[in-house]
Amino acid sequence: MANTRTVSAATTTPPPLGRHRLRAVGRDEVVDVTRLLPPGATWLPAPAHTVPTLPGQPPMIGYLLLVPAEQQETGAVAVAPATAGEGPVTIDTTRRTAQVDGRQLELTYLEFELLAHLVANPHRVHTRDQLVTTVWGYGHVGDGRTVDVHVARLRRKLGAEHRHTIRTVRRVGYTYAP
C-alpha cells in the first residue's frame, strides 16, 4: 500500500488527542493499541462468527472493547438510548424488554431483535433479505421464510389489537406502522 508506513519502536509517538486518531496500518506493522484505550478498558479478539467476511478477501479481524460500567455512566463512552418506539410498542434495549400498551411481551432473542429493528425504523419497508442480514447476521443460512415465521409469531404475541402494526408489503417484506 502506498499510504502506509512502518513504525519502529524508536519513532513511536503517542497518537494525537482529538479527531485524527485513524490511519492506515501496514500488513506487518505492530501497533500498541493499549495507548488508544480509555483508562480501565480492555480488549479481546471478537469471535470469528461475529466478524463479516467478504468473498475473495482475507478474513477480517474484529475486537471487542470492554469498558467499565462507571465510565459508561459518566459519558466517557456513548451509550445508545434505552427506549425506542412510537405508538403502542415500546422497546427498552438496556433491559431487553418489549411492551405493548404497558403489557410485557415474552419474546425469544430473535423475536426481540426483529421487533426492536422494526420499531427503531418505523414506516420503512424492509426486504426479507435485509432483515435476515441485519437480525440474523451475515453467516445465517436461510431464506425469507424464516422472517415470515418470526413475524407471524410476533403478530400473535402483539395480540389482535396491535398485530396490524407490522404490515406485509407483498413480494417485498415488512414495515412497522404504529
Mean pLDDT value across residues 171-176: 90
Percent with pLDDT over 70 in the chain: 69
Query: What confidence tens digit (pLDDT) does each residue in 17-74 have?
Result: 445 455 666 777 777 766 767 777 777 777 777 777 777 777 777 776 777 766 655 4
By three-state DSSP, how is residue 133 classified?
A: helix
| pLDDT recorded at residue 142 | 67
Instruction: Report the distance separating Cα 136 and Cα 78, nearest Å.
Output: 25
Q: DSSP string spanning 52-98?
A: ---TTSPPP--EEEE--HHHHHTTSS----SEE-SSSEEEETTTTEE
Confidence of residue 86 (pLDDT cuts 50, 70, 90): low
Q: What would the grid cell of residue 109 be?
A: 432473542
Confidence of residue 152 (pLDDT cuts 50, 70, 90): very high
Q: Give the orientation angle of helix 144-158 with respect to helix 109-120, to 10 degrees.
A: 90
Per the model's pLDDT, the better-predicted residue between 125 and 74 turns out to be 125
Mean pLDDT value across residues 88-92: 88
Nearest-Å Rg of the Cα atoms of the chain is 21
By three-state DSSP, how is residue 92 classified?
A: strand
Confidence of residue 9 (pLDDT cuts 50, 70, 90): very low
Output the pTM of the full model.
0.53
Instruction: Report the distance separating Cα 76 and Cα 70, nearest Å.
Output: 9
Q: How many residues does the chain have?
A: 178
- Mean residue pLDDT of the chain comes to 75
Instruction: Report the distance separating Cα 96 and Cα 60, nearest Å.
Output: 29
Other Cβ atoms less than 10 A from the Cβ of 32: the count is 11
